[in-house]
Amino acid sequence: MKYNSLKTELQKALHNRWFFAALAIVLLLSAVNIGENLALIAEMGEHRGRMSASLFCYWLGITPGTAKGVFYTIWPLLAALPYGWSYIQERTSGVHDQIVYRVGRKKYFFAKYLAVFVSGGLALMTPLLFDLLANALVCTYWVPNVTYYLTLVFDGHFLSTLYYTQPWLYALLWCGMTFLWGGAAACLCLTVGTWPKLRSVVTILPFIVLMAVDGVIAVLPAYAKGKLELSPMLLVRCAPPHMNPGWLEFLALSVLTLFSLALGYWQVVKHELA
């Protein structure tokens, strides 16, 4: 019987309760963000006689507020929740052996890796895109001005020029960047490989790893960091506290992706227990 491993893995990744649970959590945060914006618009209308809340200053990717704070604190957990647990579960349940017998360990690993990446990326990008489009229904549209008090994007931030010229393209490209960050973080779950005792913590592993990296970076002397944002927990934001040029964003994504790919491959394909 023909077994399409990639198609099967993607179906399992995008049609399970944990994927929908992750979407529900972030959609709830999006609803909170929209509610905060509606309240702000009402306040502006009362005090200024007009609505001046620009979509691109109040979208979840940019706006300061409760929803954004929660989203960018727990994002590694949300990325891992949909399917990061799948390999170690299949390994301990015996399903892994049946699939490997049909397709081989290498094909199984790459199909699993891609499915985990896609599920983690979609879990973060989809609600962010929804928030952008939903806010477009309630917030006024105008190109952001650098002098506006809620503007957080400055020269040196990734795609800052687009933000002040083509903000729609800027926001859509950042949705794509969020997809990449979500996928890269989710694949950290595969690095536990043959350690079944870690099954209970595999979903929070990306959060633990990235917070540990964040802690190391925090204690570095200022001259070592310069004016660049080195924390992966903050590089996922459109406008982190320090500058995040494009080369830095893609370098960090590449390092994170290659780390999980190399260690996961070694664990699952080269060093797997029989």
The dihedrals phi and psi of 228, each to the nearest 5 degrees, come to: -100, 150
pLDDT at position 272 over 80: no
Least confident of 24-33, 36-45, 133-142, 207-216: 36-45
Q: Which helix (H) or strand (E) holds 170?
A: helix 167-186
Nearest to 192 by CA among 119, 92, 98, 114: 92
At 147, the pLDDT band (50, 70, 90 cuts) reads low
Q: What span, in angstroms and rounded, lies between the C-alpha atoms of 272 and 67?
A: 41
At 46, the pLDDT band (50, 70, 90 cuts) reads very low
The residue assigned the tokens 């929908």 is 20
Give the Cα-Cα-Cα angle 115, 118, 121 (nearest 5 degrees): 145
Q: What span, in angstroms and rounded, lies between the C-alpha atoms of 104 and 86?
A: 17
Q: What span, in angstroms and rounded, lies between the C-alpha atoms of 231 and 225?
A: 10
Residue 64 near residue 36 (C-beta atoms within 8 A): no
Q: Model pTM greater than 0.95?
A: no
The residue assigned the tokens 């990325």 is 79
Higher-confidence residue: 52 or 47? Answer: 52
Least confident of 36-45, 60-69, 156-165, 198-207: 36-45
Q: What span, in angstroms and rounded, lies between the C-alpha atoms of 58 and 171?
A: 12
Nearest to 168 by CA among 67, 260, 82, 56: 56
